[in-house]
Structure 1
Amino acid sequence: MRQLVYYVAVSLDGRIASPTGDFEAFSVHGDHIDMIVNEWSDTIPKVGLDALGITADNSRFDTVLMGWNTYAAGLSATDNPYPHLDQYVFSRCRTNNDVPGGITITDRNPEDVVRDLKAAGGGDIWLCGGGILASSLVNEIDRLVLKVNPVILGAGKPLFEAGTYDPRTFELTASTPYHSGVVVNEYARRVEGTATA
């Protein structure tokens, strides 16, 4: 069954962007970038794929979900960031008239959308961000892949927005440090009733 994977860069203090929504504190150089290019090319926007002269193979994902603010953060580069994926942007005030073809704007309950996508089958679903959307999908996230950057932002957009949801437990399944200082931690949702190692 396809899974919802929250794959995102994060600071040591749990921020996925600065207070203004930019990602400039996260390094785009180093050996962790080679890993992204080789193993996670589906998550590279078209402008990056074109600059690198590569194509995404959709081996990880065929769908991406993001909130409007996450989508809007890249508008200076392109209005269609991931044409190789089915793109869903969640917004209560925007419509499909605000985006190019190939992107679906929806104001539906994110959990309902994800359940429908999971039931439809296909490749895994990438939760691109942001923290508000992640919080609304906390019950549907199957895996976390966190690219932990060696920086403290002090303020900014959190990995998960504060909420009233029950605690969720994940198991660490892999942790890979890179010379750049980035550590990629992978977690799987712990199934209730199973013991951790």
Structure 2
Amino acid sequence: MRWSRYADAFVFSTTLEPVDNPHVEIVDTDPVELVRRLKKEEGLNIWLCGGGNLAGQLIDEIDQLIIKSYPVIAGDGVQAFTGNFQPTQFTVTTCQEFSSGAQVTWFDRA
């Protein structure tokens, strides 16, 4: 299992102090370096949940996207990818639609 030597969750922040929780590690170093190290190990998948800045930094390491969409226009929102982003090709592998009109779509790196 990948997390046997690591926290269950890594929180990337340059302003948060360490927390006293064995399941959470505050990381203030390069996220790409950590993700590349984790991907070399056997174990569970790595999930990125969070802002567009982190996603933009990690775009070259993302193998699959899971995008949720809702039939609501809410105005401004957080960009999915920010920073020095380069267009990247993904292919739809699965799409599930719910009676509410919400959809979840899985995309694999092309």
TM range (shorter): 0.7 to 0.9
Q: Distance in 1 between matches of 2:23 and 2:105?
A: 31
Instruction: State the 4+ residue runs in structure 1 displaced beyond 4 angstroms.
Output: none
Unaligned runs of 5+ residues in structure 1 are 1-61, 64-84, 191-197
How big is each residue's C-alpha offset from its partner over 1:2-49, in whole Å with a ceiling of 9 and x where there is no partner?
Answer: xxxxxxxxxxxxxxxxxxxxxxxxxxxxxxxxxxxxxxxxxxxxxxxx
In 1, distance between residues paired with 2:84 and 2:27? Answer: 24
Query: What aligned pairs does 1:159-178 form with structure 2 within 5 A after superposition?
Result: 159-161=80-82, 163-178=83-98
The equivalent residue for 2:33 is: 112
The answer on 1:101 being equivalent to 2:18 is no
In 2, distance between residues paired with 1:181 and 1:105?
37
**Are 2:103 and 1:183 aligned?**
yes
TM-score normalised per structure 2: 0.86
What's the RMSD between the two structures over aligned residues?
1.8
Determine whether 1:90 maps to 2:12.
yes
Counterpart of 1:133 (choices 54, 65, 68) is 54
Distance across 1 between alignment mates of 2:109 and 2:17 = 33
Q: Which has the higher contact order (CA 8 A, sep 6+)?
A: 1
Q: Any residues of structure 2 matched to 1:27-66 within 5 Å, and which?
A: none
Deviations 1:99-120 (A, max 9, x none): 5332100111111110011112
Could you list the runs of 5+ residues in structure 2 that have no partner in the other structure? Answer: none
Q: Determine what percentage of the aligned residue pairs are the same residue.
A: 39
